[in-house]
Each structure stands twice: as C-alpha cells, then as structure tokens.
Chains A and B, each alone.
Chain A
Amino acid sequence: MHPAPSVILFTTLSGIGFGLLAFLGLGLPVVTGWLAFAFFAVAYLLAVGGLLASTFHLGHPERALKAFSQWQTSWLSREAWAAVGALVVMGIYGAGLVFLDLRMPILGQIGAALSLATVYCTSMIYAQLKTVPRWNMPLTPVLFVSLSLAGGALLAGAGFLALILLGSAGCVQIAYWVVGDTRLKRSGTTIESATGLGHIGSVRAFEPPHTGTNYLMSEFMHVVGRKHAAKLRIIALGLMVLAPVILIMSPFNYVLALLLAAATHLAGVCVSRWLFFAQAEHVVGLYYGKR
C-alpha cells in the first residue's frame, strides 16, 4: 500500500494523543490547575492534530460530517463517533481539573475507555480488510492499542509502567512482523485464483491494461526492498522501544530524559507505521503481476 504521509501522521499522532488521554482519564498522574492544562493541551494537540491530518487525504473534506452516518457497518464511521465522544468527555473532565480543581473519576474512566476505543476503531479499519492479508489479523488491533498505551504512558510520565508497556509493545511489534510476513502466502490468494486460470497451467501477467500508471497502481502497489525493510525494522524498534527505555532509566534530569524519550518514541512509531503501509500487499497487485 502507498504510505501516504497524512495517514502515517494521523495514526501515529492520534494514537499517542488518545493514549495520553486514556492515562489522564485514569488519573495517572493526578494533575490539576496549570499542570493539568499543559497535559491536556499536549494530548489534544496530538489527537486533534492527527485527526486534522487525516482529512488531508479526503477528496471532499467539506463533506466530512457525512462520515458519522454509517456506524452500523463502517469502522471509519465508528472511529469518528468514538473520537468525538472521547474528545467531548475528556474535555469536560479536563475542564473540571483545570478550572474547578474538581476530579470526576467516573467521567475520566469513560473518557479513557472512549479514547482507547478510538484507537481500536482506527486499527479495525485496517484489520477488517481481507484484501490486505498482512493487516487482516487480530494482531493489528493489538499492535495499535499497545503502541498507543506505551506512548501514552511515556508522555504521562508513568515511569515503571511505561517501561513495561514499552517492552510489551516491542514484543507485539516483533510478533506482528513475523506473523505478517507469512500472511499473503497463507491467505491462499494467488494470481491463479485471481484469474481463475490456474486449472490450465501457471499464470503470468503478460501485458498490463495500460502503458502508464493508474490510481490502483499508485495506491496499492508499493515495493520495499527486503534488506531495506529489515534495516528499517531495527531502526523502528530502536527508536520506539530501546532508546526510550534507556533514557528513562538513565541518571539524567528526569523531565529532560522523558522529553527526549517521547521524541524518539514518536519517531520510531512513525517508521513502524511507514512500514505498516509500505509492506502491506493488496491482492489487486496480483492482477498486475506485482507480488
């Protein structure tokens, strides 16, 4: 799949933003007044900034409100509801903390649940697609939610908890890559099943339908070299898990270390998300003899 920068930014930033909102909702840490304002501002900037970035790839962003209508079948529509719900509930909860010094734990918990539900819905947009076997597995939502929790814990300054969550997100990420690499093969979809010509012999794409490129080719067919991908995977893991863990455990100034850790983590998740798209094979590529 084409790794569109707007979608990579959206899933990365909003994932971490909603992760932070979830921790704030659970009262980890308990903050009030100006400090609460700072925490909530960061969380909203990330979450809302991500959502705004996602509208850049729409053909008609001015009709975006219509996307709320089909929640019964569409994960994209459900994501829109969950996101607005989380932002509204957490907004009320945050206002209570910032201006009234008032903590409403139940509201916070609801907000936390909605925040994580948003991340889950985002991941299901990808995980539901049978056409992309690498995404079409339960590990996809597990990966998105665990990265969101790890990033959120890191930004919330949750010390030891952040270490554990970062470690487990790293493990999920490795599992996702290992299992994902075999998904297309195990899906059973081949150029033979795509053309229905397998009973005659082995099928090879001889001539494409057109001399130039088209929407399908630029949207769905993206080939990353194997060596390249392996290197990027190591970079992603290093930036998103290893570096933050080392920084948190280092004896430097805690706040400075935390900021640095958050920055490298964010960069690492971006690399991982780039790979998430760039390495995903859409079965339509088979018609073009690509992978």
Chain B
Amino acid sequence: MTQLPETTQRKLGLVIDLDTCVGCHACVISCKGWNTENYGAPLSDQNPYNKEASGTFLNRVHSYEVQPDIGAAQLIHFPKSCLHCDDAPCVTVCPTGASYKRVEDGIVLVNESDCIGCGLCAWACPYGARELDASEGVMKKCTLCVDRIYNENLPEEDRVPSCVRTCPAGARHFGDLGDEDSAVSQLVAERGGMDLMPELGTKPVNKYLPPRPKDTLDEIDILAPLLAPVAEDPKGFMGWLDKTLEKL
C-alpha cells in the first residue's frame, strides 16, 4: 500500500552523531553482513575482486571537508542510510505497493516479492538510500534491522540495529523519535539535531547531530616576538642569493 499513514504510533529511527563518527566504516560492513544473511535477498557484489568492483550497500559513509571563514578546515565523516521519512516520496511513487511505511513504528520497507525493480523509488529518494540489487533485480534499502529489534531469539543487548551495535565510537543511536522523553529525542533537543535537505519536505525521522564547535585557545606566546619572520625583501648577501636562485 503506497498511501502513507496519517501518523505512525512510533517513529523508530537513528540519530547519527557527526561529532563522534571517526569514519571507520564498521557500520557499513556490519550492515552488509547482517542484511546479506537475513531479511530478503542478499546484497550482491559485482566483480568484487576485480577492476570496477561494485555492490549493494544499505549504509555508506561519505567524508566532507568543511572550510570555515577563519581557522583550519575540518574533516567530517558522514554515514548515510535510509532516514525513514514521515513524508516518504519513495513510497507514494511505487506502482506495485511493494514499498510501504509501517503504521506501528514508521519503518519504511520493501516487500521484495511484489517489487518489479522499476527503480522509480530510488529516483524519488533525495538521499540515495535505495539501491537496486544488480543480481536480484529488486530494490534494497535499510530495514532499520526490523529482524533484530523485535527478535526475541537474540540476547536483549543485541536487539538494536546491527550498525548501532557495531559502531565503536558510539556515534549511532537508535530509539523512538516520536516520543519526546526517549533518550534519542533528548539527545536531538540537546545537541540541535537536524534534518538533511529539509527544503524537500520529506520530514526525515533520522536526525544528524552537528559537529560541536571547535574551541579556540587564546595563546600567550612570549617567544613569538623573537621569532618574527625575516625581512620580506632580503638585502645584502641574502638578496643576492635570492636573485641568483630565482634565475636558475
């Protein structure tokens, strides 16, 4: 059913801390591992040991360089998976009803046996969160590890998404973002959690915590005056050396 529910009882999702993520890609690998062995078709690779290697992933980590007006550039690692949008454009475009958003917890899923692999949902997602599997011909996306979070065969501490369980830096948090009192909602309120591409109106459930501002040290350096740079325009012997070297 590709009509979106008016509201969902819960809004399960992830909160990703861009301040803490170290860019190790462990979540990428654990996601691929869990989702290849469990829910739905495996995530295939094409030419994995050759040139032009490619494959299906539900979670990928980008890295961005941000240059502030003053000060050094910052490197920010940026994991990206499905944001389980409230107003998910990927669901409404689907002609078959394979894509749907669950009323009970807001998770966006694909019913693979209904999917014709037309790819339209991936066109409609602004975040690149859906990938058509090249060998299965069906659409793959983050399931929020729906087969872990409710899985009573797993020990309690493992009933969170695989990527969250794996992250060595604790940069990924899982919880109900529809509940104001939940730990994730409080984290979002405290740290100014943000939406990606808010102008597109997708109303993502997943939030990103911006990197904390860098502190600046007011350095008192008594040696600085002694180390003032040498003359810009060298004279005498240095001047001659400079000119000669220039000519070479």
Contacts and interface: CB of A to CB of B under 8 A. Distances in A.
Interface string A194-237: 11110111111111111111111001100000000000000000
A168 interface: no
Nearest to A126: B123
Contact of B116 (A66, A199, A210, A215): A66
Interface stretch (A55-63, A111-119, A137-145, A260-268): A55-63
B103 interface: no
A80 to B, nearest CB: 7
Interface string B193-205: 0111111110000
B128 A216 contact: yes
Given A60-B138, A203-B66, A287-B80, A74 B95 contact: yes
Interface string A73-95: 11111001000000000000000
A75 B123 CA distance: 13
Given A72-B3, A73-B3, A206-B64, A215 B196 contact: no
Interface string B122-161: 1111111001111011110000000000000000000000
Nearest to B139: A59
B9 interface: no
Interface size range on A against B: 35 or more
B232 interface: no
Contacts of A196: 194-196, 208, 210
B178 interface: no
A28 interface: no
A188 interface: yes
B93 A67 contact: no
Contacts of A67: 95-96, 116, 118
A214 B55 contact: yes
A219 B124 CA distance: 12
A69 B98 CA distance: 10
Given A208-B62, A212-B53, A58 B95 contact: no
Contacts of B131: 214-216
B14 interface: no
A125 interface: yes
Given A128-B93, A130-B201, A283 B136 contact: no
A216 B125 CA distance: 11
Contacts of A66: 95-98, 114, 116
B92 interface: yes
A287 to B, nearest CB: 6
B102 interface: no
A61 to B, nearest CB: 7
Q: Most B CB atoms within 10 A — which of A66, A209, A282, A288? A: A209
A164 interface: no
Given A66-B116, A74-B94, A194 B138 contact: no
B128 A59 contact: no
Contacts of A158: none
B117 interface: yes
A276 to B, nearest CB: 14
Q: Most B CB atoms within 10 A — which of A67, A195, A199, A215? A: A215
Contact of B64 (A77, A205, A212, A283): A205
A155 B80 CA distance: 50
B67 interface: yes
B128 A69 contact: no
A206 B75 contact: yes
Given A193-B198, A196-B208, A64 B69 contact: no
A129 interface: yes
B92 A73 contact: yes
Contacts of A77: 95-96
B74 A131 contact: no
A210 B64 CA distance: 14
A70 B57 CA distance: 28
Contact of A59 (B67, B68, B76, B138): B138
Given A197-B210, A201-B67, A205-B62, A219 B119 contact: yes
Given A59-B136, A197-B76, A216-B128, 13 more contacts: A63-B114, A66-B95, A72-B2, A72-B3, A74-B94, A187-B199, A208-B62, A209-B28, A209-B57, A209-B61, A210-B60, A215-B131, A216-B131
Interface of B: 1-3, 18, 25, 28, 52-57, 60-69, 73-76, 78, 80, 89, 91-98, 114-120, 122-128, 131-134, 136-139, 194-201, 208, 210-211
Interface of A: 1, 57-61, 63-64, 66-70, 72-77, 80, 125, 128-132, 187-189, 191, 193-197, 199-216, 219-220, 282-284, 287-288
Task: List the 4 closest A-B pairs by CB distance, nearest first.
Answer: A59-B117, A59-B137, A209-B60, A201-B68
